[in-house]
């Protein structure tokens, strides 16, 4: 049943005849009912759908970081959709006949806060250690900037996220990994944001390491 709130010219919700009304991103939208397509997808269409699913699913897994890292670029979109558009052209790599996420090229945050320098990532005793070099303070590089970290395990399709975990001047941070991660290769990222969270910085892919 469709619901018209303000008469014939007003917005409505749900289905009215062959039309569907919904409210999205502050706007009332009217769309046609979807029609089933019987034609088999072409190779290009199938590839595009595969890529869409790969990137969209990955970004949704790391949405706690994306929602903050891309929020200032959103107008009539969502942070995840904005991140999808930004990452799409470089987000994939082909191995044989299989398309995979190109993890070193993924960006989950953008902004003016200075990225860390000289980042190294190591593993021991089931933990991941991030370390970085000291940097001179400036308008976009403060000792009080807060670091966030992402570790992604593609074999288990699991991610570990720690937001605003430590200040820039700590110069290192240790993340405890799940007990079943040792032996798996994981992809590691980090980013800085201002102490008040109003400004973000570009996320940085800092490398892949085997959890030992």
Residues 6+ apart with CB under 8 A from 102: 90, 91, 92, 93
Is residue 61 a part of any domain in this protein? yes
Is residue 8 a part of any domain in this protein? no
Over the stretch 82-135, which tens digit does the pLDDT of each residue have?
Answer: 999 999 999 999 999 899 999 999 999 999 999 999 999 999 999 999 999 999
Over the stretch 175-191, which tens digit does the pLDDT of each residue have?
Answer: 999 999 999 999 999 99
Q: Is the pLDDT of residue 208 over 90?
A: yes
pLDDT at residue number 11: 62
pLDDT at residue number 194: 98
How much of the chain, in percent, has pLDDT values that exceed 90? 76
Is residue 71 a part of any domain in this protein? yes
Q: What is the domain extent for residue 86?
A: 43-210
pLDDT at residue number 66: 98
pLDDT at residue number 76: 81
Is residue 164 a part of any domain in this protein? yes
Is residue 140 a part of any domain in this protein? yes
Q: How many domains does the chain have?
A: 1
Is residue 25 a part of any domain in this protein? no
The enclosing domain of 56 has a CATH number of: 2.60.40.10
pLDDT at residue number 196: 96
What average pLDDT does the segment 41-67 reach? 94
What average pLDDT does the segment 46-51 reach? 93
CA distances from 78 to 49, 71, 82, 122, 183 (A): 20, 8, 6, 34, 36
pLDDT at residue number 41: 77
Is residue 142 a part of any domain in this protein? yes
pLDDT at residue number 6: 60
Is residue 24 a part of any domain in this protein? no
For the chain, give the mean pLDDT: 90
- Between CA 168 and CA 177, with CA 171 as vertex, the angle to 5 degrees is 100
What average pLDDT does the segment 9-18 reach? 60
Residues 6+ apart with CB under 8 A from 170: 147
pLDDT at residue number 12: 52
> Which phi and psi (to 5°) does residue 111 adopt?
165, -175
Q: Is the pLDDT of residue 38 over 90?
A: no
Q: How confident is the model at residue 1 (pLDDT cuts 50, 70, 90)?
A: very low
Output the CA torsion 113→118→119→122 (10° steps): -170
Is residue 174 within 8 Å of 157, Cβ to Cβ? no
Q: How confident is the model at residue 152 (pLDDT cuts 50, 70, 90)?
A: very high
């Amino acid at each position: 049943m469709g619901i018209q709130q303000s008469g014939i010219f007003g917005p409505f919700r749900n289905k009215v005849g062959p039309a569907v009304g919904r409210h999205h991103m502050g706007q009332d939208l009217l769309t046609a009912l979807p029609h089933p397509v019987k034609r088999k997808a072409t190779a290009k269409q199938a590839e595009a759908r595969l890529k869409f699913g790969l990137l969209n699913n990955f970004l949704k897994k790391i949405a706690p970081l994306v929602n903050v890292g891309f929020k200032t670029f959103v107008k009539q979109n969502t942070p995840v959709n904005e991140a999808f558009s930004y990452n799409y052209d470089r987000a994939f790599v082909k191995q044989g006949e299989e398309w995979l996420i190109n993890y070193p090229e993924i960006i989950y945050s953008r902004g003016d806060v200075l990225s860390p320098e000289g980042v190294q990532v190591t593993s021991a005793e089931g933990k991941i250690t991030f370390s970085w070099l000291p940097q001179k303070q400036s308008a976009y590089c403060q000792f009080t900037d807060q670091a966030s970290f992402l570790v992604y395990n593609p074999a288990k399709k699991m991610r570990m996220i720690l937001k605003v975990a430590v200040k820039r001047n700590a110069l290192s941070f240790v993340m405890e990994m799940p007990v079943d991660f040792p032996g798996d290769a994981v992809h590691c990222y980090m980013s800085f944001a201002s102490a008040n969270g109003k400004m973000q910085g570009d996320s940085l892919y800092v490398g892949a390491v085997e959890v030992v």
